[in-house]
Amino acid sequence: MDSYEKLPDAKITPSGKISEKFLELGINNFKGASDYIYELEYGYNSTYDDEMILFKEKKGTCTTKHAIIAGLAEELSIPLSKNVGVYKFTEKISSGTDRILETYKIPYVPMVHCFLVYKNYKFDLTEGNNNGKKKNPQEFIAIKEVEPFISRKDEYLWFKRILKEKVLPSKEMKGTKEKTLLKAREEAIELLKKNIK
């Protein structure tokens, strides 16, 4: 991912609920807002139905952290977007993954991660957070630009489409069933939660 220095900057004006919240916090520019979100504790939120949950719980994941900044960009007419990508989750990414791979006899677990895109730059406001990963993914099987607050259901349906179209037909997944990958994914999510320090 790219350096945060390449993030765009703009003055925050009261243009919607997100910009108003940052102004209430005394943050008046886009880079300052991005820094604030990066510094927030990494943690799973109690719901994804409340767009402002990150501010209430003072923590967030890639989903909620990037949604807020992409939402702020939208309010300020900054051409920055949230993207989701399917990547190969292995032991290199998170300790304990090999056990899952051995159990299900697969080379990797397909997982979803999200990040921000501005021009040709990619930014991950969870990189370096205590997010359960030794390193964040840099390469993706598929990437899609999405609405800042894409629903969990829509994200999951896209993920399942990528499983069918790209992951399952690949040579390395030959003979693997979709339900095997979905079970492995559930275990990988639990592993990440356990690995958060």
The pLDDT mean for the chain works out to 95
> Is the pLDDT score of 106 beyond 90?
yes
**Which residue segment(s) compose the domain that 92 sits in?**
4-195
pLDDT score for 197: 64
Sheet containing 121-123: give its strands across: 121-123, 109-118, 80-89, 142-146
Asked if residue 147 lies in contact with residue 83, where contact means CB atoms within 8 angstroms, the answer is no
pLDDT in tens, 9-54: 899 999 999 999 999 999 999 999 999 999 999 999 999 999 999 9
Q: How many domains are contained in the chain?
A: 1
pLDDT tens, position by position, 45-100: 999 999 999 999 999 999 999 999 999 999 999 999 999 999 999 999 999 999 99
CB-CB contact of 51 with 35 (8 Å): no
